[in-house]
């Protein structure tokens, strides 16, 4: 029975690896302690798969930080600033690359395709001296073998590795990363030879860049690379795994004609068009690893539908050449439903976390081999039927309201410059107005109060009193610094998505549904299982309370619909945009309630708008269209005098600037302090932007406190390309993770810089 898992979460069912890593980094435990936790986790994962009956079990998908960083270590591609002098790479060099150290910064981190996972970007150039410097893949293969489990070692393929890298600082931007292929392949050959010697019979190369739009020279690199590896690979079964999207026809053709490759893995959940390519032409005698179990969501598989797809494929590739697999690594889903003791029974029956997906893969493989477990299949069918008909999923009023949206594009009645004039008459702000993004530091005491209130150890009255006190403190502080537009500091909020999800219907929350974001950082995405609506107002109480403490404008703070969508596990029984429109209507109700209650400035954060951008150009316009539309729905009904702000993060958004303008917010603040030049170049190239804009003037992700002069200098750079009357002065993100000892001097310097420039501008006039 042929079953395969592409990869598995590393953190452990109760985040064991996270706590072991953080303890090691804090100097509270030894390297041996960390290695012991890791070895125990690997063993339990391999044994769990073996006991379930999985045939092709992956090894080397475990990582102490990130699989791309592991590959960088394997190739000895350590940037010179880490002072590595050769030899096997140990924890000190490895974690310095990942996290920086006292004297040098970390390597850059960026999103892994369109997931919420982040990888460490290799820094390469013509002078890198590659060498085989981490034997992790071979060591882990042998470790599993000693436990009696024969695994499939997994490596990031050489071409994807280079395509996902960037030229190091000081290397020409135009440097061809693929020109290094000839230098890294000899190391891949060493690794492959050692794996063969150790007894491996299969090897898996992950080449996910094959699903991207690729120019022909990039495609040719795959042909060249695998031809060069062919003789080293002989005697091994070679699987090339792709995931996250349909594979384009040209790429499919290149992939299926690669030399020395035995098997091809496809994501058939996100890549339903790939099925047509397989039906059209699949190379005879090769294996097809069919990714029918979704690795990126938490829903139970529709076993009957998957089985029928598999039967069709069996007719094409033959019984002994079809392997049931996951659509991608299970890294992107939660670990094990067994730890969800508080989750509602009915909702729980609709879900499958990583451990359950392993069972689903095995059940499908057994069914194909003629040993269908009727009990599993009928329980699955019953759960799917209950989800389809459940009154908790379906809310007719919400469906009608969302359907009615399609006829309009929901724009505010007047254009942005007229609105800004009306707002200025009401708000009377100075030029270069100052504000912050929303959150203030969350102290240990504050987290404790929230935790105890949740555990019912503190009465509601005492909780409200404590939060009220915190808001008063934050308001007073901002007034002392003379900030123009205030925030309440969000002391009552745990997380910008969870806080709203907990107050909307159609959302459920897990206790241990953690997913790795990067390194030891995990997130626990809400689960959107049904139609979304807002039973009652969510933020009005706190916002009006905060506004009553000051005469200055107090911003209402909301998370936008697209960000709530992109940072959740989303229902898979209707298109994503339908769910997004429903969330937009719920946020619209909240915006209008805030306005009715005297809040004149309302910020709707869309930190994750760009994160949902599809991988392929041809699908991007449609996504941007409904995402931007959803944002406009939230605030199309407010008066001209109500000022709508939005905040965006990681904005490598030069390519989507037209969509950002189309959001039609009155003021947009941007996290850009690490890429100032990139951002400002858009405006330098003549993009006309008439709304208010606040490119962050200092980086909150670092404990560094910038001086007044440094901030003034940055504002001056911005004034060179932006009109004086639209520029805002603000940090680049919320202050939640910082300490007050850092925040106070930084905000003081920020306001002083704005005042300094106001004076200079006035005298220049």
As annotated, the active-site residues are: 701
Report the interhelical angle of 136-146 vs 31-52 (nearest 10°).
60
Closest of 546, 549, 502 to residue 528, by C-alpha? 502
Q: How far is CA 545 from CA 4, 463, 539, 542, in A?
A: 56, 15, 10, 5
Question: In terms of C-beta density within 10 A (0-12 exposed, 13-18 middle, 19 or more buried), how is residue 171 classed?
Answer: middle
Closest of 403, 396, 357, 397 to residue 380, by C-alpha? 357
Which distant-in-sequence residues (6+ apart) come within 8 Å of 427 by Cβ? 485, 553, 600, 601, 643
User: What six digits make up the tokens of 604?
Assistant: 């709707």
Say if CB 122 and CB 72 are below 8 A apart. Answer: yes
Closest of 714, 733, 729, 736 to residue 649, by C-alpha? 733
User: CA angle, 14 as apex, 9 and 16 as ends, to 5°?
Assistant: 80
Say if CB 166 and CB 121 are below 8 A apart. Answer: yes
Enumerate the β-bridge partners of residue 263. Answer: 239, 287
Q: Please tell me the distance from the alpha carbon of residue 324 to that of residue 661, in angstroms, as a whole number.
A: 45
Q: Hey, how many other C-beta atoms are within 10 angstroms of the C-beta on 531?
A: 22
Question: In terms of C-beta density within 10 A (0-12 exposed, 13-18 middle, 19 or more buried), how is residue 553 classed?
Answer: buried
Say if CB 299 and CB 264 are below 8 A apart. Answer: no
Question: In terms of C-beta density within 10 A (0-12 exposed, 13-18 middle, 19 or more buried), how is residue 183 classed?
Answer: middle
| Parallel/antiparallel/unpaired status of strands 692-695 and 667-670 | parallel
Question: In terms of C-beta density within 10 A (0-12 exposed, 13-18 middle, 19 or more buried), how is residue 54 classed?
Answer: buried
Q: Hey, how many other C-beta atoms are within 10 angstroms of the C-beta on 405?
A: 17
CA atoms within 13 A on the CB side of 601: 28
Which distant-in-sequence residues (6+ apart) come within 8 Å of 9 by Cβ? 330, 331, 333, 334, 335, 354, 515, 516
Q: Please tell me the distance from the alpha carbon of residue 455 to that of residue 740, in angstroms, as a whole number.
A: 27
User: What six digits make up the tokens of 305?
Assistant: 């539908």
Q: Hey, how many other C-beta atoms are within 10 angstroms of the C-beta on 599?
A: 22
Q: Three-state SS string across 183-250, please?
A: HHHHHHHHHHHHHHHHCCCEEEEECHHHHCCCCHHHHHHHHHHHHHHHHHHCCCEEEEECCCCCCCHH
């Amino acid at each position: 029975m042929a079953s395969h898992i592409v990869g598995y979460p590393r953190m452990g069912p109760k985040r064991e690896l996270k706590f072991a890593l953080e303890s090691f980094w804090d100097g509270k435990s030894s390297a041996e302690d960390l290695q012991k936790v890791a070895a125990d986790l690997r063993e339990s994962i391999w044994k769990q798969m073996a006991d379930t009956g999985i045939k092709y079990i992956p090894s080397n998908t475990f990582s102490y930080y990130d699989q791309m960083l592991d590959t960088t270590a394997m190739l000895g591609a350590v940037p010179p600033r880490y002072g590595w002098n050769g030899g096997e790479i140990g924890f000190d060099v490895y974690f310095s690359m990942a996290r920086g150290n006292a004297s040098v910064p970390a390597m850059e981190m960026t999103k892994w395709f369109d997931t919420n996972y982040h990888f460490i970007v290799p820094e390469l150039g013509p002078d890198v001296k590659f060498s085989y410097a981490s034997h992790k893949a071979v060591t882990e293969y042998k470790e599993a073998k000693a436990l009696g489990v024969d695994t499939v070692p997994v490596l990031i393929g050489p071409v994807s590795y280079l395509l996902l890298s960037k030229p190091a600082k000081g290397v020409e931007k135009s440097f061809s990363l693929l020109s290094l292929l000839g230098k890294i392949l000899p190391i891949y050959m060493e690794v492959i030879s050692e794996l063969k010697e150790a007894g491996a019979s299969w090897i898996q190369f992950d080449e996910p860049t094959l699903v991207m739009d690729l120019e022909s020279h990039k495609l040719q690199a795959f042909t060249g690379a695998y031809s060069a590896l062919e003789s080293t690979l002989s005697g091994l079964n070679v699987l090339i795994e792709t995931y996250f999207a349909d594979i384009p026809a040209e790429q499919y053709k290149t992939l299926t004609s690669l030399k020395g490759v035995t098997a091809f893995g496809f994501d058939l959940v996100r890549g339903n068009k790939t099925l047509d390519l397989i039906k059209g032409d699949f190379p005879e005698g090769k294996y097809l690893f069919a990714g029918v179990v979704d690795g990126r969501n938490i829903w139970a598989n529709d076993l009957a539908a998957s089985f029928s797809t598999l039967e069709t494929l069996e007719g094409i590739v033959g019984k002994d050449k079809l392997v049931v697999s996951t659509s991608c690594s299970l890294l992107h889903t939660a670990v094990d439903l067994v730890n969800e003791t508080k989750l509602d029974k009915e909702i729980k029956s609709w879900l499958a976390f990583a451990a359950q997906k392993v069972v689903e893969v095995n059940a499908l493989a057994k069914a194909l081999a003629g040993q269908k477990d009727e009990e599993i299949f009928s329980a699955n069918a019953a759960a799917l039927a209950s989800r389809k008909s459940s009154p908790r999923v379906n809310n007719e009023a919400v469906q009608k309201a969302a359907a009615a949206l399609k006829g309009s594009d929901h724009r505010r009645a007047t254009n942005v410059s007229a609105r800004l004039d009306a707002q200025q008459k009401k708000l009377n702000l100075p030029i270069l107005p100052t504000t912050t993004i929303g959150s203030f530091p969350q102290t240990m005491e504050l987290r404790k109060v929230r935790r105890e209130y949740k555990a019912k150890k503190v009465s509601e009255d005492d909780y409200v009193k404590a939060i009220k006190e915190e808001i008063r403190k934050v308001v007073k502080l901002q007034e002392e610094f003379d900030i123009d537009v205030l925030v309440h500091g969000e002391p009552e909020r745990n997380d910008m998505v969870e806080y709203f999800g907990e107050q909307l219907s159609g959302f459920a929350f897990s206790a241990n549904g953690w997913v790795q974001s990067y390194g030891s950082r995990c997130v626990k995405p809400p689960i959107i299982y049904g139609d979304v609506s807002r039973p009652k107002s969510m933020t009005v109480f706190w916002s009006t309370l905060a506004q009553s403490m000051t005469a200055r404008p107090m911003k209402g703070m909301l998370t936008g619909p697209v960000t709530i969508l992109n940072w959740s596990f989303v229902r898979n029984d209707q298109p994503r945009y339908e769910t997004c429109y429903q969330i937009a209507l719920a946020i619209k109700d909240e915006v209008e309630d805030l306005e009715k209650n005297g809040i004149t400035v309302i910020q709707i954060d869309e930190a994750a708008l760009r994160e949902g951008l599809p991988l392929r150009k041809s699908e991007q316009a449609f996504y941007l269209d409904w995402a931007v539309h959803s944002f406009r729905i939230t605030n199309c009904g407010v008066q001209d005098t109500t000022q709508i702000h939005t905040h965006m993060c990681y904005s490598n958004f030069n390519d989507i600037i037209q969509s950002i303008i189309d959001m039609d917010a009155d003021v947009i603040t941007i996290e850009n302090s690490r890429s100032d030049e990139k951002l400002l170049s858009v405006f330098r190239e003549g993009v006309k932007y008439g709304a208010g804009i606040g490119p962050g003037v200092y980086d909150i992700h670092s404990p560094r406190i910038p001086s007044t002069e440094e901030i003034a200098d940055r504002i001056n750079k911005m004034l060179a390309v932006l009109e004086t009357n639209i520029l805002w002065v603000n940090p680049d993100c919320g202050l939640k993770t910082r300490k007050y000892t850092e925040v106070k001097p930084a905000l003081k310097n920020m306001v002083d810089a704005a005042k300094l420039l106001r004076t200079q501008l006035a005298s220049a006039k």
